[in-house]
Amino acid sequence: MNQSKTMEAADRRFGWFMSAPSLALLLAVILFPVFWALFTSVHDYTLIAPNFDTFTGAENYISAIQDPAFRHSLGLTAFFVAAVVLFEFLLGFIVALMLNSVERFKPIYYGILLCPLLMNPVIVGLIWRMFLHPSLGIVNYLLTVVGFEPVNWLGSTQMAIWTIIMVDIWHQVSFMIVLLLAGLSAMPKEPYEAARVDGARVYQSFFYITLPLMMPVIIVTLLIRMIFAVKTYDLIYIMTRGGPGVATDLVSYSIYRTAFVSLNVGEASAMSAILLGFILLLTVYLYRYMRSLT
C-alpha cells in the first residue's frame, strides 16, 4: 500500500520531468505572448514609448469599442464570416453530395479539390491579385472577350469585399467538401433503402434522413470554419491592405494597422483580447457540442 503510493508519486514526478521541455516550449510560444498582450492591453504602451509606465485600466478597451473604425471592422468581419461560411457550406454540401454518388475517379476529384487547400494563403492572394488586375488580369480579359464590361475587382469599395469573399470561397471550400464528404460516406446505407420502401422521394430522404444524421458533422464543420474565418488576415494583407479605404478592413488587419501603423500597441492588444474573447466563445461552444456527441 505504502510502497505503491510512493511508486505512484515517483511515476508522476517522472511524467512531469519528461514533459517539462515541451511544456516550457508551449509556455514560451503560446501562453507568454497571450499574457504579454493582456498585460499590454491595460497599459499605455506604444512603439514610440514602449514601456509599462502608465497603467490605464480599461481605457484601451473603451477607446477600442468607441472607435468607429474598429466597430466597422467588427461588423465587416461578422458579415465576411457569415458570407464565406454560408456560401462555402452550401457549395461544399452540394459538391459533397455529388461526389458521394460518384463511383469512378474519386481520388482524382479529391486531388483536384485539395489543391487550393494545400496552397499558402499568401500565394492564393498573389495569384488572384494577378488574375483580377483591372487591365492586365485574365479575368477581365475573358469578360471583355465574351462582351462584358471589365470589373474593378479590388479597386471598388462596393466590389472589393465580395472579391475577397469569392477568393476565400475558392481557397477554403475544399475544406467543407472534404469534411462533409467524410460525413456523408460514413452514413449508413440501409435507412435510405428503408425510406425508399416507406415511400420517401429523393428530396424527402435528404430532408428526413441525410440532414438530421449529418447535423453533428455540419455543426462541427461550420464552427471550425467560422473560427478560422474570423482570423482571416493574409488574404487582406496581400490583396487589398484593407482598402479601398476601409472597405475590406477585417478585424485582424485592423489590429495589425493599429499596432504597427498607428504604433498603438496597447489599444491593438485590447482589440486582440476582444477578438480572442469571440473566438474563445466559439471554441467553447464547439468543444461542448463535440463532448455532447459522445
Residues in touch with another protein (CB under 8 A):
188, 190-191, 193-201, 204, 208-209, 212-213
Residue with smaller CB distance to another protein, 191 or 243: 191
CB of 207 to another protein, least distance (A): 11
Residue with smaller CB distance to another protein, 159 or 209: 209
Residue with smaller CB distance to another protein, 8 or 198: 198
For 271, residues 6+ apart whose C-beta sits below 8 A from its C-beta are 64, 70, 251, 254, 255, 258
CB of 194 to another protein, least distance (A): 4
Grid-cell match 508522476, residue found: 12
Residue with smaller CB distance to another protein, 150 or 216: 216
Residue with smaller CB distance to another protein, 6 or 101: 101
Residue with smaller CB distance to another protein, 117 or 195: 195
CB of 183 to another protein, least distance (A): 14
CB of 215 to another protein, least distance (A): 8
CB of 206 to another protein, least distance (A): 13
CB of 103 to another protein, least distance (A): 9
Residue with smaller CB distance to another protein, 134 or 191: 191
Residue with smaller CB distance to another protein, 91 or 200: 200
CB of 201 to another protein, least distance (A): 7
- Amino acid symbol at 262: S
* HEC assignment per residue over the chain: CHHHHHHHHHHHHHHHHHHHHHHHHHHHHHHHHHHHHHHHHCECCCCCCCCCCCECCCHHHHHHHHCHHHHHHHHHHHHHHHHHHHHHHHHHHHHHHHHHCCCCCHHHHHHHHHHHHHCCHHHHHHHHHHHCCCCCCHHHHHHHHCCCCCCCCCCCCCCHHHHHHHHHHHHHHHHHHHHHHHHHHCCCCHHHHHHHHHCCCHHHHHHHHHHHHHHHHHHHHHHHHHHHHHCCCHHHHHHCCCCCCCCCCCHHHHHHHHHHCCCCHHHHHHHHHHHHHHHHHHHHHHHHHHHHHC
CB of 48 to another protein, least distance (A): 60
- 240, 154 Cβ separation under 8 angstroms: yes
